[in-house]
Amino acid sequence: MTDKLTAVADFAQTTMAGDQSGHGYDHVERVVNLTRQLLAENPANGEIALTAAYLHDCFDEKLTSDPDAARARVTEQLTDIGYQPAAITAILAIIDHMSFAANLEHHQQLSPEGQLVQDADRLDALGAIGIARTFAYGAVHGYAMYDPQVRPRTNLTKANYRQPETTINHFYEKLFKLPEQMNTVTARRLGNERKQYMQEFVAEFKAEWNEL
């Protein structure tokens, strides 16, 4: 790993330390590793992609009370580390436009690097780890696990996306939709495999719930 990426990793680890919502540094490391895997199969600027992967949650609105200030800290850090203005602009553009919420009402056109980081981040929302992260996020934010009387929403907007919902409904409203939205062949394949595991889990969860 280059000196710049080492410095970025250290900054990300410090920034995400203590997160209990499923977005801690362990999540960051998995996204970075998945990005590396996708870079091996898809041509893109590795430094830009991996930097964005390390920093992608550092100023996310769901994780900080002041996204603008957090974004400014990221920009300052990248400048201090030695990134050129054009590279910083490319990295921030990926982070600004890759989230599920940012694409609810309008599909954001990402760079090749952004497409890989987006796929990697979405893969970590799926499968066994995705299940664990979903329940961790719900617990931190006080969501009910499940309520059979509350149906999944079908018309999500950026405005209503983060309104309180049940954890199980999140699988239907977002997670099960991710594989078809992947940018790369590898991510679609892995995403569908992980989705199947999640579908089996949700079916078993609801079956056991109904036995109460």
Task: Provide the pLDDT for residue 212.
Answer: 58
Task: Provide the pLDDT for residue 163.
Answer: 79
**What CATH number is given to the structural domain containing 104?**
1.10.3210.50
Q: Are 1 and 9 in contact (CB under 8 A)?
A: yes
**For residue 84, with 0-12 CB atoms within 10 Å meaning exposed, 13-18 middle and 19 or more buried, which class applies?**
exposed
| pLDDT tens for each residue of 122-180 | 999 999 999 999 999 999 999 999 999 999 998 888 778 877 789 999 999 999 999 99
d(CA 90, CA 82): 14
Task: Provide the pLDDT for residue 128.
Answer: 98
What residues of the chain score a pLDDT lower than 70?
212
Task: Provide the pLDDT for residue 64.
Answer: 87
Instruction: Please state the domain count of the chain.
Output: 1
Task: Provide the pLDDT for residue 178.
Answer: 98
Residue range(s) defining the domain that contains residue 128: 3-209
d(CA 102, CA 179): 17
d(CA 52, CA 120): 11
